[in-house]
Structure 1
Amino acid sequence: MTFSSPQLQRFFYSHHFFGGLRQATGVLLPALVLSNVFGWIAGGFVAAVGAACVAILDQPGGPRRYGLNGMFAALCLGSATTAITGLAANNVLIIWLVVPALCFVFSMLTVYGKQGGLLGFACLLIMTLTLRTPLTQADVLQHTLTSFLGGAFYLIYSALAHRILWHREEQQALSAALFATADYIATRARFYDIHEDLSANYRQLIKHQAAMTEAHQAARDMVLRELPRGTTSRADRLRQGLLNLFVDMVGLLDSMVATHTDYATLRQELPDSDALLFVRDAMFKLSANVSSLALNVARNRHARVRNSVKAELRALEFELHQLREQGLPQNNPELYALLVQVLRRVRNITWQVDRMADHSVNPLPQQSDLSKANRSLNRFLTRQKWRLALLTDNLHGQSAHFRYAVRVAIAALLSMAVGALLAYIPVVRTLDPGMVGHSYWIILTVLIIMKPGFALTRQRNGWRLVGTLIGCGLALLLFYLNLDPTLYLLILAACSVLGYSLIQVHYTLSAIFNTLFVLLVFHFLVPGSNTVVGERLADTLIGCVLALSCSYILPSWERNTLDALARALRTSNLAFLRSGLDFVHATRLARQADQPAGAEPQESETQWKLCRKNVHIAFSNFTAAFYRMMDEPTRRQRHVPIYNRLMIHHHALASQIAAVIPQLALLDGEPEGIHQALAATDDYLSDRPATPPKVIETDGDHAALAYPLRQMILASQQIQDNMQALDQLESPPMPGPPERQAGTGDSDGRAHDQIGQPGHRLREDA
């Protein structure tokens, strides 16, 4: 996160800041009321802890229904955890059994995805903070009830806030997706700059595409949960406006990813041409337009501000005219066709961005058949499944979730042991008696840092250490200034808001503000004692060391999941191709029956779009795991070149499928060469022997299909070769004659020789 003015504006109008403000307010209100109105400071702290437990499930940008269900589950499980921990704390033997057991059980909830992980962490947080003060059996009921009331207050408060501010939340989720789309367009624009490194830029493109996919899914879950009902109410008009923008945004995404341009060939053949610069400048302007639109959506403004790209389009048309006069269509027809394709794409994107700007000011009329449209759109939503079998099926040593739960339980046990050991060290008891009995803070540090993946745990370890160190330094400075208590309270509230807001944006800054917040809380609980700063720092250092050390216990390396993710991605791309061909077939039959708008082509198109969404998600899962593996120790990485090539070829394949299917749907049939190309792609993805066509027809409307079809064959053939190479590396070698090395990085292989066309290499060195 940079601190330029546009980025700050983007942050303060985002759902991250809005959600952080909502969470901080809901957590601090019970504490302020009980402390200032009733004078019960300890009760206010307990109620705030109960509210904080529920607030963890109130993530910004998530669907409201699942958020409320998760908060209710956190309220019930958190209260039960408080009671169990409070009762067990009176018995030394029992508490040493209960804490690791709870850590294991709640860490296993990661099998249910992000929501399950948040629920487990919320329960572990309230368990840890309950250990802060020893409770008698008589106090346990009061402590549990106070915590429950604090959590219940937050649940009611959040439900009311969601109901009142639903449109604002949907706007901000849509704005985040638009900003991610603008970042993706800007990254694509850099490919046309000959001074930019293709490999480095491709890595950035993959990361931005993964972030964009996640942001689009979050916006989809928000916007499509409550669709227009066809009434004339203000709420329906607002929903219709957001739905129009979302549909436009998805159309823009389709235009961006529905092709795979050969940037290396463009740079090689046109190193001194201004055509590439005109495309770059046009796309940068379009990115700025989408960013401006995203900011207006977040601010609830309807001003239509845009940068015109007419000059760049006219200049690009002139460059193409010059190239035509120089005989490029005759000398290099594929290069000329590629440039024409780029020009058409920029025009299409420009039209779509202008359409989005128009819809942000004047929403389109509602659709005539909303019930059918709503049923179709509902199928794109994410469904959360909580099945007990999913938990029990992972109770074995090979499960990554089980191994993670064991690691957390062992780390918590070691944290308790270190805390107990500090009580017997004379130096510690002499220099700082307050350090004794702080094992709960060490446990909390371990729980915050430890994640299922080794790379993320190590990364968070560094961020947490830096954030805690800076936060402690700032706290000492604030305490040295001896400010007015009211000012300290305002700083505490600001730190709480920023700590919640930045946790998904910049973890180090979030750790700084959270450290400041906690130290200011202890400053109010124990006025005049600055030793708490050193104690928190020492506890955090111990917790970081334990968390990193325990990460090597039954580790779950990303390399163990990449094979399955690669197969899932191949399956998704195959389903994407087949569903697209089903859509083409249904469209042709409907056109022959003079019913182009029939139910069957609409259903097949919806199925194809669902498969396209699944491809984006599968690709994001694979690339995220690949980059996490690259952050792990080198000796724990394997098959890096093969996975890298698979990532490149799957990206190219999905782009070309998205480009070919709509063009095929416009034709009444395809000639033999095109049919063989599609069949060969299907065979390669199905891991069957394939026979690519020797010639792909280029007459008339078929000319635009030749290049993407060749790229589809090349990509699918390379995917098959690399997947076979993975299988061979995983299985013992079989005796036999030497074979050609599969997927060695050069795409000019068997498919090119059989097609007999000039080669266009797919980028593999990213």
Structure 2
Amino acid sequence: MNYSSELKKIVTSQYVYSSIRITLATVIPCLVLSYFGLLKDYFLFPLGTSFVALTDQPGPFIRRRNSLTFAIFCFVVVASIASLVKGIIPLVILEIIAFGMFFSLIGVYGQRLAAVGSLALVVLAIFIDGHLTGANILKSLLIFASGCIWFLLIFLIVTTIQPYKLASQMIGENYLQLSEFLKIKANFYQKNPDFDRLNTQIIAKQIEIKNLQEETRETVFKTRTIVNESTTISRLLMLMFLNSMDLHEKLMTSESDYKKLQQSFEDSTILVQIHDYLNILSEEIANIGISLQSSTRAKPIFNLEARSQDLNIHYFELRNKAMNPDTLENFMILRQIMMRINEITKEINEIYKVFAQNVKLAKSLSTGLDLKKFLPKEEKLNFKVLRSNISLTSSHFRHAIRITTALLLGYLVSLLPFLMIGHTYWILITIVAILKPAYSITKQRNLLRFYGTVVGAVIAYAILYYVHINAILFAILLLSMILCFSLLKGRYFWAVLFMTMYIFMSFNFLNPGNINVIFKDRIVDTIIAGIIAFLVSYIVLPVWEHTQNLDLMKKSAECNLTYFHSVMSKFLNEDFDLEDYKVKRKNAIISLANLSDNFQRMISDPKNQQKKLEVVHQFVATSHLITAYTASLSQYSKNDKKYPEIDSESWTKKIEAEMNQVFVLLNDEKIPETLRMDSRLEPEDSSIENLLVQRKSELLENEIFDRRDPNKISHLTELKNIHDVLELIYDVAKEQRKVIQTYRAETTTLPQS
């Protein structure tokens, strides 16, 4: 592992950058207030700052600014009402019901408002017993509101000074994810690979890439300075992101029958050399990502031209030595893989040229795309959307009921005198943090929250017991805050661990010598909250993942069908619309990732709710293969070559018939006879077989050319690969149809074919 590179990935990431900004925005006022001896009286100022900061989600400037403004308004209103009704139990219960339902339901408008809603409930928890406001409620609320506004000012200043920073970091992270994706793909070429494990890793990584691409797409395409301004930086960022999308597709095109490949070349070192070279390409892609994150110019790490040449020389030497009529088809497959690797190498070299910031290139850049078509769909902010979700059929409404119920139980439990709860709000905050719409995420977070809290509390207790130098404790506090905010999205256990540490440090500075009470309360409150969250998520109107499977399978099948037809349009001599093709490609990848993500969550559901698990797993696997093979086929549809030897019309009818049968079965309908007939068509690709026989006879006559041009591939090899990919797509589509017949057979009798 390249530890230097790994460290750079972390240090230059948007999460560390954001966490440092949040930490400084929170700590600097603390230092100033502490210097004047006012920290205890004005503690609500940094608290308000940190709450608003946590609602700041990546995205376009205007959306971030508006959501921060809305968050400040919500927090002040919630804090005011909670402070005014404190101690009046009936009113507090009504308050929990009203705020619990409303702030959980606004999640229908997307992740940004969902974050505001969650933090608003945390504010409710903090102010619910009035221990922070004291006697002068107005003064406390003004201090809290000032702290909230302080972060908004910091945000406005930073984004004005560095308008492209977030977009650059997010695009860089896209390249880092693609680097990891290629590293997994490279492992298929090592000796004795674990195919099942690698396929699982590929699908999991696809989910991460999809989620990140969605966030980046919104940030880049909706940032006015990037889309509208004709600056070199904005155009280059747009180009770099679009290149990352194309590179992702090229990485997907290397899908092959790896088991057959391993058997064919097990006595050669060529596959291991491909593995090593792909890892080099992975490092180069990571280098581009790191440079984007750090806003520096990327320079190649390796001499790719020399490394690529060495790999191609080894391939051609093996070809000239071992190719014969029996191994011809194996070498055709390997030749295609070598071509794909050369294309990826060229793509990376082109990206480096773009990164050289050629101003002429930047000024001439025009995507020609309607960017609105590529944006993720979001619900518009109108009351109709909210009202339509007030129904037990809505997963958002059911989640709102669950979280409100859990908050009520948490509050009532905290009032029980024999428990002697010292910090009521810790129970409520933990419930809000743990309880998520999906049972699987709640279950996972419950365990991670408990483990992180216990370990963090033990470490903090030990530090405070043995260390009494305030400068060291303050340094640990700063480091803990930065690490907590940096890891909150991706490493929840570690985020909770460091959160617990900085909470302990904060309380120690505010009220020294109270560590034993804090330790006990923190552990007890976390256990109580975890039990409540788990029981509520399991009992109160749960939404199990298997209920989402059918809709997601339909969407994936539909998107794969339209993606395939878009690719085949070039072969059918139809108008090939690049923009339409890219939209179909995006939809296919997103729908596949959504289905895969849902399946991964279903694995964590209770056993009795893992309905048709194996069948769904098979559908996910076949969907992934169809998308990948279609991406491979797309490389031929984007060049100017013609392939009249391929019976494109018959292949299109045959494959689409199988795909349509899948869609028909998913809709619980009877398969039309026309689809059955079309799926049995035999494409007339006999000329390819004739050419193949002719080539084999040439080899028998020792007609082997020592051709060394890595950028040229014979027309026959291209035809054979197109034919093989079409056969693979058909075979997988047929297998998927049988999977769905099994899926439906468990509940109803379906006609078999």
Please state which band the TM-score falls in when normalised by the shorter chain: 0.7 to 0.9
* Contact 2:561/2:659 (<8 A) preserved: yes
Corresponding residue of 1:337: 332
Matched, 1:577 2:564: yes
Could you report, residue by residue, the CA deviation over 1:124-151 in whole angstroms, capped at 9, with x for unpaired residues?
Answer: 1111111253588984443333322221
Alignment partner for residue 634 of structure 1, among 607, 612, 633? 607
Corresponding residue of 1:711: 728
Matched, 1:379 2:373: yes
CA gap 1:237/1:369 in 2 versus in 1, 3 angstroms: closer
Tell me the distance in 1 between the aligned counterparts of 2:510 and 2:580.
59
* Contact 2:59/2:215 (<8 A) preserved: yes
Corresponding residue of 1:57: 55
Letter in 1 for 2:648: I
Matched, 1:144 2:161: no
Matched, 1:552 2:535: no
CA gap 1:315/1:175 in 2 versus in 1, 3 angstroms: closer
* Contact 1:458/1:548 (<8 A) preserved: yes
Alignment partner for residue 616 of structure 1, among 589, 605, 611? 589
SS in 2 for 1:379: helix
Tell me the distance in 1 between the aligned counterparts of 2:134 and 2:301.
66
Alignment partner for residue 268 of structure 2, among 264, 270, 273? 273
Alignment partner for residue 655 of structure 2, among 658, 681, 690? 681
Structure 1 stretch displaced more, 130-139 or 154-163? 130-139
Tell me the distance in 2 between the aligned counterparts of 1:667 and 1:149.
65
Corresponding residue of 1:595: none
Corresponding residue of 1:19: 18
Tell me the distance in 2 between the aligned counterparts of 1:173 and 1:86.
40
Tell me the distance in 2 between the aligned counterparts of 1:420 and 1:99.
15
TM-score with structure 1 length normalisation? Answer: 0.86
Matched, 1:693 2:687: no
Structure 1 stretch displaced more, 686-695 or 411-420? 686-695
**Is there any run of 5+ residues in structure 1 with no aligned partner, and where?**
429-434, 590-600, 741-766
Tell me the distance in 2 between the aligned counterparts of 1:165 and 1:647.
42
SS in 2 for 1:557: coil
How far residue 503 of structure 1 moved from its aligned partner, in angstroms, is 0.6
Corresponding residue of 1:536: 522
Letter in 1 for 2:551: A
CA gap 1:368/1:694 in 2 versus in 1, 3 angstroms: same
How far residue 62 of structure 1 moved from its aligned partner, in angstroms, is 3.2
Which residues of 2 match residues 432-451 of structure 1 at below 5 A? 435-436=420-421, 438-451=423-436
Letter in 1 for 2:502: F
Identity of aligned residues (%): 21
How far residue 333 of structure 1 moved from its aligned partner, in angstroms, is 4.5
Corresponding residue of 1:46: 44
Matched, 1:413 2:387: no
Tell me the distance in 1 between the aligned counterparts of 2:132 and 2:12.
43
CA gap 1:182/1:3 in 2 versus in 1, 3 angstroms: closer
* Contact 1:646/1:722 (<8 A) preserved: yes
TM-score with structure 2 length normalisation? Answer: 0.87
SS in 2 for 1:412: helix
SS in 2 for 1:382: coil
Could you report, residue by residue, the CA deviation over 1:519-574 in whole angstroms, capped at 9, with x for unpaired residues?
Answer: 22222222221222221121112111221222212221111111111111111112
Tell me the distance in 1 between the aligned counterparts of 2:364 and 2:657.
40
Could you report, residue by residue, the CA deviation over 1:406-459 in whole angstroms, capped at 9, with x for unpaired residues?
Answer: 2111111111121111x2x2xx5xxxxxx4453221111111111111121111
How far residue 216 of structure 1 moved from its aligned partner, in angstroms, is 2.9
Could you report, residue by residue, the CA deviation over 1:569-614 in whole angstroms, capped at 9, with x for unpaired residues?
Answer: 11111222233345667x866xxxxxxxxxxx6xx21121011111
How far residue 692 of structure 1 moved from its aligned partner, in angstroms, is 4.2
Tell me the distance in 2 between the aligned counterparts of 1:90 and 1:172.
47
* Contact 2:127/2:133 (<8 A) preserved: no
Which residues of 2 match residues 147-226 of structure 1 at below 5 A? 147-224=144-221, 225-226=223-224
Corresponding residue of 2:701: none
CA gap 1:327/1:669 in 2 versus in 1, 3 angstroms: closer
How far residue 672 of structure 1 moved from its aligned partner, in angstroms, is 7.3
CA gap 1:290/1:369 in 2 versus in 1, 3 angstroms: closer
CA gap 1:189/1:128 in 2 versus in 1, 3 angstroms: same
Which residues of 2 match residues 390-409 of structure 1 at below 5 A? 390-409=385-404
CA gap 1:454/1:308 in 2 versus in 1, 3 angstroms: same
Letter in 2 for 1:682: E
Structure 1 stretch displaced more, 188-197 or 64-73? 64-73
Matched, 1:10 2:9: yes
Matched, 1:561 2:551: no
CA gap 1:732/1:79 in 2 versus in 1, 3 angstroms: same
Corresponding residue of 2:632: 659
Q: How many pairs does the alignment contain?
A: 704
* Contact 1:47/1:151 (<8 A) preserved: yes
* Contact 1:209/1:620 (<8 A) preserved: yes
Letter in 2 for 1:691: S
Corresponding residue of 2:708: none
* Contact 1:574/1:682 (<8 A) preserved: yes
CA gap 1:326/1:5 in 2 versus in 1, 3 angstroms: closer
CA gap 1:254/1:447 in 2 versus in 1, 3 angstroms: same
**Is there any run of 5+ residues in structure 2 with no aligned partner, and where?**
662-674, 692-714
Letter in 1 for 2:338: L
* Contact 1:575/1:611 (<8 A) preserved: yes
How far residue 109 of structure 1 moved from its aligned partner, in angstroms, is 2.5
Tell me the distance in 2 between the aligned counterparts of 1:263 and 1:313.
24
Could you report, residue by residue, the CA deviation over 1:489-516 in whole angstroms, capped at 9, with x for unpaired residues?
Answer: 3332222222111111311111111111
Tell me the distance in 2 between the aligned counterparts of 1:21 and 1:504.
15
CA gap 1:331/1:214 in 2 versus in 1, 3 angstroms: same
Tell me the distance in 1 between the aligned counterparts of 2:613 and 2:288.
39
Letter in 2 for 1:75: I
* Contact 1:274/1:319 (<8 A) preserved: no
Letter in 2 for 1:47: F
How far residue 319 of structure 1 moved from its aligned partner, in angstroms, is 3.7
Matched, 1:250 2:236: no
Letter in 1 for 2:261: L
CA gap 1:135/1:350 in 2 versus in 1, 3 angstroms: closer
CA gap 1:436/1:282 in 2 versus in 1, 3 angstroms: closer
* Contact 1:23/1:58 (<8 A) preserved: no
How far residue 477 of structure 1 moved from its aligned partner, in angstroms, is 1.9
How far residue 30 of structure 1 moved from its aligned partner, in angstroms, is 4.2
* Contact 2:86/2:92 (<8 A) preserved: yes
Corresponding residue of 2:669: none
CA gap 1:270/1:486 in 2 versus in 1, 3 angstroms: closer
Letter in 2 for 1:467: G
SS in 2 for 1:556: coil
Tell me the distance in 1 between the aligned counterparts of 2:338 and 2:123.
58
How far residue 327 of structure 1 moved from its aligned partner, in angstroms, is 4.4
Bigger relative contact order, structure 1 or 2 (CA pairs below 8 A, ≥6 apart): 2
* Contact 2:650/2:682 (<8 A) preserved: no
SS in 1 for 2:393: coil
* Contact 1:278/1:313 (<8 A) preserved: no
Could you report, residue by residue, the CA deviation over 1:657-711 in whole angstroms, capped at 9, with x for unpaired residues?
Answer: 2232442453557567321111222222222433343245236564342011111
SS in 1 for 2:164: helix
Which residues of 2 match residues 22-41 of structure 1 at below 5 A? 22-37=21-36, 39=38, 41=40
Corresponding residue of 1:237: 232
Which residues of 2 match residues 94-173 of structure 1 at below 5 A? 94-134=91-131, 139-173=136-170
Tell me the distance in 2 between the aligned counterparts of 1:390 and 1:518.
38
SS in 2 for 1:373: coil
Letter in 1 for 2:140: H
How far residue 228 of structure 1 moved from its aligned partner, in angstroms, is 5.6
